[in-house]
Structure 1
Amino acid sequence: MAAPAIAHVNRIGTALPPHDVHDAFVDFVGTMIKERRDQLIFRRLVGRSAIDHRWSFFTPVKDPDGFTADAEGFYRPGSFPGTAKRMARFEATAPDLAVQAIAGLGLTAAELHGITHLVVTSCTGMVAPGLDQILVQRLGLHPGVERTHVGFMGCYAAVNSLRLAHHFVRSDPAARVLVVNIELCTLHFQETGELESLLAMLLFGDGCSAALVSADPHGLALVDFRATTVADSADAITWRIGDQGYDMHLSGQVPPLLQRALAGPAGADLLRGHSPDDYGVWAVHGGGRAILDAVESGLGLGQGALNWSRDVLRECGNMSSATVMFVLQRIMAGIGTAVPRGTPGFAVAFGPGLAAESFRFTAVG
């Protein structure tokens, strides 16, 4: 029996909305914190966040009455929008950002028509007919393309979408899989003065990635996938649909929970019994500076191992499922220079559970 085909991430395209809202959000949130002590803590942690930019479709402005989060008043204090209005904005803006990311792949019309599978991932918006169906029409994909939607899994959903593509190619070497991760996190800011919630919202921005996965032997060869769940951590990250959008809880205990788990049997299992030194390049989801610090410490990584991830966090913030794809794009761009061909790599992302989803890859070039 012939060995299964090896799936490769051949190309990655990315896209960001037009407006940098990080500084504006910091100013806006500052007006929501009433306690002086909490204001000081918030400002101190902003300075330690290692985030300089986050992107959104909302245009930040100041008005004579004080700061309004956006030009249209979507987040005007005292009248934050309900879930229906937020989903209407997702439907209006997500397709264009997805098309922009897909355009970054540089596929011809014939190549687009040859796509056999479409995987669309998002945990920040829903619409029916789905974004997958919208993209089939917008891109001129074959109407019989096999469509899969991965929804509401959180930041590690990109790994699950690549796992699907991996299986599709292994089962059919002729498969050409288009994987799209689209997250509009800024649609879900909550009106609250609760410090932990505001610190969680401080991390998130919008972004979209697109990837072509096939058996063509160039790019990143996908080796295998593995997941693990940290014991007694189900409440550390929660993500629920409420009347005022999607309400995330991100506990301050997530970094120490991850650090301890990765330093123990869970980390050894994810690494498949290998030493961290056996992997020459790392693509870690930049959920926040403290998350990256926890991974670095827990796995005992050398200084600079997570620079790819730290750069994406600094320039884009946490874009939920799209984030690790931005990291992989930068690694791919470095193959042959910063990343020697044949370098073994390790990718991992974290999310509700508290779970870690990982895969190994080889930089083929």
Structure 2
Amino acid sequence: MATAYVNQISTAVPALDCHDMFIEYAPELIEERGKMLLFKRMAERAHINHRWSSVEDPAGFYGNNPSAVDTETRMVEYEDKAPKLAQKAVEGLNLGDAADEITHLVLVTCTGFYSPGIDYDLIKNCGISPNVDRTQIGFMGCFAGITGLKTANNIVRANPEAKVLLVSVELCSVHLQKPKSLESMLSFLIFGDGCAAAIISAEATGLELDSFKQVMVPDTRDLITWRIGNEGFDMVLSGKVPGQLGKALNPENLKLILAGRTPADIDLWAIHPGGRTILDAVENALELEPDALAVSRHVLENYGNMSSATVLFVLAEMMKQAAEGGPRGLGSAMAFGPGLTAETMLFRL
């Protein structure tokens, strides 16, 4: 059975850096002074400097009451902007005539839907064969980037001649609403837009995919939820998530995730930067050195949380650093989402 490799990853974000803009705008959405002051403290502690938005005119799109924008309007914006961002990421792979060699296209997204969808647009605009085998992974949340890699891994292991294009595109910013709670304030503060495109094949270059394990944390169903409402998609991100993740990374689960190894055996940690407290919880639970999650913190600082695409941004940065003489070795990737679910992967760089 063939071994699968991530040969390359290309990333793309929209042109508008919205983070500081949002921090200035958010107090207008918060009626209670106490909550406004709390939001400002949260913003200072988020360790995010940049987030990127596909909504080119936020004031015109959201107005004084973003909750007044209905879901249909948001999906029109998604259908306009998401395929363009996905195409930008695919073009970053510089496939040229080799685009016609793509045998499988795996699309991951949870922030919008239309059909024919982004996969159709990529085939039309990126030189991909119309006979390509297409799979869409939808609405699974932040851990779905690793689910996409797992799907590509299964395809290559079953068919060594396969060449898989994985595209994870998320437009979180189209779902901005008026904050209803502390949890919603937090989600609007950390989420941004981004896309990652990757080539996975049996060609032995890049990042070798090893094994995948999924862990569901008992009695945590309501801590992260993602539902379609009349005012966009409604995100709940409970402040209890970091603590529960810390508990979930216990010796029994780690033995499963790390295939019998210990954290000391892992050279590289590609942890989904769902937020600063998520990274802190993982670092503390695994008793890691302060710089062990430096790449994840770098991605959080410069992009925020881009849902499923984020962990691919982390892996892309690791591959870039390795190409420049940086760290290599055995790695563990983890991403977290609704369930509460941890999707994990071992890899070698």
TM range (shorter): over 0.9
Aligned ranges 1:212-223 → 2 under 5 Å:
212-223=199-210
Verify the 8 A CA contact 1:255 1:290 in the aligned structure 2: yes
Q: CA deviation at 1:71?
A: 4.5
Deviations 1:192-242 (A, max 9, x none): 352321112111000000000000000000001000001110010000000
Question: Greater CA deviation, 51-60 or 183-192?
Answer: 51-60
Q: CA deviation at 1:278?
A: 0.7
Equivalent position of 1:102 in the other structure: 90
Equivalent position of 1:113 in the other structure: 100
Q: Does 1:301 align with 2:299?
A: no
Verify the 8 A CA contact 2:55 2:61 in the aligned structure 1: no
CA separation of 1:38 and 1:11: change in aligned 2, threshold 3 A: same
Which structure 1 residue ranges, 4+ long, deviate > 6 Å from structure 2? none
Q: Does 1:29 align with 2:29?
A: no
Q: Any stretches of 5+ residues in structure 1 without a counterpart? A: 61-69
Q: Secondary structure of the residue that 1:31 maps to in structure 2?
A: helix
Equivalent position of 1:326 in the other structure: 313
Deviations 1:75-106 (A, max 9, x none): 43276311101111111011111111011111
Aligned ranges 1:101-180 → 2 under 5 Å:
101-108=89-96, 110-180=97-167
Deviations 1:102-138 (A, max 9, x none): 1111111x21011000000000010100111111111
Counterpart residue identity of residue 216, structure 1: E
Verify the 8 A CA contact 1:181 1:321 in the aligned structure 2: yes
Q: Secondary structure of the residue that 2:190 maps to in structure 1?
A: coil
Q: Secondary structure of the residue that 1:97 maps to in structure 2?
A: helix
Q: CA deviation at 1:44?
A: 0.9
Give the number of aligned pairs: 348
Q: Any stretches of 5+ residues in structure 2 without a counterpart? A: none
Deviations 1:62-82 (A, max 9, x none): xxxxxxxx2423343276311
Equivalent position of 1:247 in the other structure: 234
CA distance in 2, matches of 1:357, 1:244: 29
CA distance in 2, matches of 1:318, 1:247: 16
Q: CA deviation at 1:269?
A: 2.3
Verify the 8 A CA contact 1:83 1:246 in the aligned structure 2: yes
CA distance in 2, matches of 1:301, 1:354: 23
Q: Does 1:288 align with 2:275?
A: yes
CA distance in 2, matches of 1:179, 1:358: 17
Q: Secondary structure of the residue that 2:89 maps to in structure 1?
A: helix
Equivalent position of 1:65 in the other structure: none
Q: Equivalent pairs: percent with the same residue?
A: 46
1:351 to 329, 337, 346: 337
Q: Secondary structure of the residue that 2:68 maps to in structure 1?
A: coil
CA distance in 1, matches of 2:164, 2:174: 28
1:73 to 56, 61, 66: 61
Verify the 8 A CA contact 1:124 1:184 in the aligned structure 2: yes
Aligned ranges 1:180-259 → 2 under 5 Å:
180-259=167-246
CA separation of 1:200 and 1:78: change in aligned 2, threshold 3 A: closer
CA separation of 1:28 and 1:235: change in aligned 2, threshold 3 A: same
Equivalent position of 1:52 in the other structure: 49
**Alignment root-mean-square deviation, CA:** 1.3
- Higher share in helix: 2
Q: CA deviation at 1:310?
A: 0.2
TM-score calculated relative to the size of structure 2 = 0.97
Counterpart residue identity of residue 330, structure 2: P
TM-score calculated relative to the size of structure 1 = 0.93
CA distance in 1, matches of 2:85, 2:108: 13
Q: Does 1:13 align with 2:10?
A: yes
Counterpart residue identity of residue 128, structure 1: S
CA distance in 1, matches of 2:21, 2:88: 25
Deviations 1:290-348 (A, max 9, x none): 000011111111221100000000000000000000000010012251113xx111101
CA distance in 1, matches of 2:171, 2:65: 20
Counterpart residue identity of residue 2, structure 2: A
1:279 to 239, 242, 266: 266
CA distance in 2, matches of 1:281, 1:48: 25
CA distance in 1, matches of 2:280, 2:109: 26
CA distance in 2, matches of 1:252, 1:40: 17
Verify the 8 A CA contact 1:286 1:309 in the aligned structure 2: yes
Verify the 8 A CA contact 2:55 2:174 in the aligned structure 1: no
Verify the 8 A CA contact 1:32 1:193 in the aligned structure 2: no
Q: CA deviation at 1:267?
A: 3.0
